[in-house]
Structure 1
């Protein structure tokens, strides 16, 4: 293998890749836009649920007795109440109302006589807003119940404070930077890993299977450049595109900070050291290098561009499945073995970095194992380029 030939092939492939407008869209534009769009959807969806106000909740009240005092209390909280609705369950299923509160006929009587009383709340647990409404209604009823208890105790000359002998205060020891990092660590590692692993797919399919279909691979193989040099040049081109995709997704993340007002506070609070940024790039490099070689090997084996896409498509699932398995784990809950497993290690390192953790043991395990995986992947790609039966399958 001659480095001069590798450079010539690399230069030629990159020039061809960047001539194609689809490459700019798939490799750069989509990754750059995907994270901002996902962040907007995730934050917007979370806010629409978390910011649900009492006044936004509409419930149907079925009063089977004369319990106007309790109904008036409900109205005083700001909750929207409908008392004359027909087909309440149908309205609940459609989402027109968020809950149904059934007040038994003996509710008021039992309260006045100092007895316990029952209430029934009907909700649609398949509807998140209906489920949240149930929690809010419970809170209102709890407050009403506490007021009744206090009145009963005061009537007997007992201080209501006796019910709360212990006051609990919660203090958050996490810094604002750590809080911001915990939010980002939930979804960003998955997106970065996904684009790092799949960013070179378009280039890989085109540089081997695509050239077979166009009939341009055979003339290239007849040049003075060895097959290993040709493979190396193509491999570096695919790796470059995968890394470019990862960088584009990072730029998209920074754009989210800059233009999304809901993430502005995260940008102000979240800090990453230069070391963490370097480690993140190294992690992305090894991941891109491994997947680029695998994708090129599969592309070299494929007979056509379409067949190459079919073989390489499952790579997306290889990147996504581990992401979900690691997503809900805190850094201290991630098993040591994960750092030695492809993709698992990438996401685990990303999560630690976003939490502000730089664990040299974990990084060393990841780098050492990644070198082995990259070596195996490159060997498979080189093997495909050496085999006549693979390159010229019919």
Structure 2
């Protein structure tokens, strides 16, 4: 009987075009947009062309500062700052009068870079201009030291090398935030409409009374509906992971370079699927409870909205923490442990203690929410309008 009801609910859910749209196509569209956005975000500007506004009086020697930077295009203007404000350039460079001449004479000279650090293109351009001037500065210092008969190496007694602890591409840290966030959003978006329709929708359409009159235990109905919500959430999560994996493989370069999955890619993928299923069970339990409490679909969706919002906080929390800094607390708290576990897996780390603790804490919450839902579902006050 349980299997028959479960199959019926699954068929009804996927027969509804609205549910199908929200369950499958909307998450795919959202995830595609996020993948392309983060691919652009990960780009360091290499290969892009930038426009730098400079004064019309700039000399050929001053232009030579940017000879090695082919992606910087100089635009001469009588008012460089205004050129940037009008959107005709990403940044502006203001040099003191006779800049190069003053440098040669050893007089004070200054350069001002004007741009918008909140704009990725402008920020990349300002970094390139700063690098160009750093190279130019070293050239001037080296020339002056040689003119005085001093070895230029005396001003650089040592070198500094920065190396990532993991030895992997640094962009994998952002990817470790992106994939869990996509997964949490997809599971919530996919399971939400189904959960609202299976309980609040039944009450709103006045079909719950007829359903309760059938010779089927309420616990059986509750379990079958919960399994339906869990299955839809899991399917949505799997589709999202597959689509994201394909998009990263075929549509991106920076993200594809960041993904390594360590020495056990098959095991890591399997564990990621297991974690996704457990999270879908947790989400289904919460959404089922909100749907039982809600009298209408709209009311149930209002109650479930905070669930979607809460899933965004762990993304912010884990994004500022190194994978080696994740303590046991991060694997006990539900939702947060999803982000923490997937972050470890993306770095190729498999810690079975963390995995067991995270799964156990989620299952405990699932049981608690399920018991509360069962208590409410057994009372006519909560299942009938």
Pairwise same-fold verdict (TM > 0.5): yes
**Superposed displacement of residue 159, structure 1:** 2.9
SS in 1 for 2:92: strand
Are 1:376 and 2:368 an aligned pair? yes
Contact 1:212 1:304 in 2 (8 A): yes
Q: CA deviation at 1:208?
A: 0.8
Which residue of 1 is the match for residue 53 of structure 2?
59
Give 3-state SS (helix, strand or coil) of 1:58's partner.
strand
1:216 corresponding residue in structure 2: 207
Per the TM alignment, residue 347 of structure 1 is displaced from its structure 2 partner at its CA by 1.3
Residues 196-345 of structure 1: matches in 2 within 5 Å?
196-260=187-251, 262=253, 265-266=256-257, 269-270=260-261, 272-345=264-337
Deviation of 1:175 after TM superposition, in Å, equals 5.9
Contact 2:180/2:339 (<8 A) preserved: yes
Partner secondary structure for residue 94 of structure 2: strand
Q: Which runs of 5+ in 2 are unaligned?
A: none
> Quick check: 2:344–2:350 contact (8 Å CA) kept in 1?
yes
TM-aligned CA distance change 1:265 to 1:61, over 3 Å: same
Structure 1, unaligned runs of 5 or more: none
- Distance in 2 (alpha carbons) for counterparts of 1:108 and 1:294: 67
Change (3 A) 1:168 1:244: same
1:18/1:114 Cα in 2 relative to 1: closer, same or farther (>3 Å)?
closer
Task: Check 1:241–1:87 CA distance in 2 against 1; reply closer, same or farther (3 A cut).
Answer: same
TM-score normalized by the length of structure 2: 0.88
Deviation at 1:346, TM superposition (A): 1.2
User: Does the 8 Å CA contact 2:259/2:346 hold for their aligned counterparts?
Assistant: no
8 Å CA contact 2:45, 2:121 repeated in 1: no
TM-score by length of 1: 0.86
Partner of 1:80: 73
* Pairwise CA distance, 1:277: 2.8
Match of 1:12 in 2: 8
Tell me, in whole angstroms, the C-alpha distance in 2 between the residues paired with 1:293 and 1:307. Answer: 17
SS in 2 for 1:157: coil
Shift of residue 147 of structure 1? 2.2
Q: Could you say what secondary structure the match of 2:202 adopts?
A: helix
Q: Do the aligned partners of residues 255 and 60 (structure 1) sit closer, same or farther apart at CA in structure 2, a change above 3 Å counting? A: same
Deviations 1:233-290 (A, max 9, x none): 1111111111111111111123214532537954985565333233222222222112
Indicate yes or no: 2:82 matched with 1:120: no
Instruction: Say what the alpha-carbon RMSD is for the aligned residues.
Output: 2.8
Which of 76, 84, 88 in structure 2 is aligned with 1:96?
88
1:12-31 deviation digits (Å, cap 9, x = unpaired): 21121122122322222333
Give the greater-gyration-radius structure (CA).
Answer: 1
| Whole-angstrom CA distance in 2 between matches of 1:239 and 1:306 | 21
Q: Check the 8 A contact 1:6/1:233 in 2, yes or no.
A: yes
- Cα distance change of structure 1 residues 114 and 60 upon mapping to structure 2, 3 Å threshold: closer
Find the aligned partners of 1:25 and 1:237 in 2 and give their Cα distance.
17
